[in-house]
Structure formats: structure tokens, C-alpha cells
Amino acid sequence: MVTSTSNTPPSTPAMSGEPPKHTCIGFYRLSQVLELIPIGKSTWWVWVSDGRAPAPVKLSQSVTAWRKDEVHALIDKFANERASKIKEAANV
């Protein structure tokens, strides 16, 4: 058994200044993905085939889903790209 002698709580991303890392476990169905990323179904499928969006997982013959952590990573990527563009525009 390991015991800690320190009274300091473990560092969290919010405390350390790091961006939050999503530890979502589970899957989103397409309708749930499109609630988070407001685009059309056909656009989503184009992104999947282009590699811009994560690959789907077949949970059964008729059920297709996406890993939650991969969807949230894509949202984070979009947010970071947008922040970079805004920062670049401010520096011009």
C-alpha cells in the first residue's frame, strides 16, 4: 500500500495552466455529434472520408458511432485553430 506524506493535492489541468484534456468514455451517435458540431450529415460524412473527422466505429450492423474522446479532440482542434486565427488577425 502506498501512502502519501504530502498534504499538497495532485495538480489538475486548471491548476497547472494546461488546457483541459477530455477523458470522455463512450460513443456518440451521429445526431449527438451534429449537436456538438453544427454541420449537415453529408458534410460530416465528407469530413470522415477526407480524414478531417474521426473514423466511425461499427457497434453493430446497423449502429455507427464515434468515440467521444475523438469528437472532443476535434472540437478542441477547431477551437485552437480559431484562437490562432484571431490572434494572428490581432497582430496585423
Q: Tell me: the pLDDT tens digits for 19-64? A: 556 567 999 999 999 999 999 999 999 999 999 999 999 999 999 9
Ranges of each domain in the chain: 24-91
Q: Which residues contact 56 (CB under 8 A, 6 or more apart)?
A: 48, 64, 65, 66
Comparing CA positions, the residue from 42, 35, 41 lying closest to residue 75 is: 35
pTM beyond cutoff 0.75: no
Predicted confidence (pLDDT) at residue 89 exceeds the cutoff of 60: yes
